[in-house]
Amino acid sequence: MEFFNVRVGDLELRSCGDHLLDREPHTTAEIVQWGEAHAEIQPSCWVLAYWAVSKDGYDLKFVGDRPFGERVDTEVFMNLAKIGQSLLGILSEKGE
């Protein structure tokens, strides 16, 4: 699969491996939120949602209620989710 990422404000859609790691071949994607907690040391982020492969294609899974937190821009989140679903669909059709 091709690497991709789309960032809007503090939300980012990015490709990743099956175990949500960057060090393995990218086969799925996740939406993360970037934070300021330790920005002086290293930027930090946490996963809001990720895609899992099923017999029907890619399923978007939420991590608890993180996508509904007060710091999350719901409109941006939903737009990134739509983009991610489309990209994964296109890439899976291409056989990547």
Residue that the structure tokens 């934070």 belong to: 35
* Whole-prediction pTM: 0.85
Residue 20's pLDDT band, with cuts at 50, 70 and 90, is: low
Cβ distance 29 to 91 under 8 Å?
no
Residues in the chain: 96
Over residues 24-72, the pLDDT tens digits come to 777 889 999 998 755 566 778 899 999 998 888 899 999 999 999 999 9
Most confident range, picked from 15-24, 50-59, 71-80, 85-94: 71-80
Domain boundaries defined on the chain = 5-93
SS3 (DSSP) at 80:
helix
**Is 81's pLDDT higher than 60?**
yes
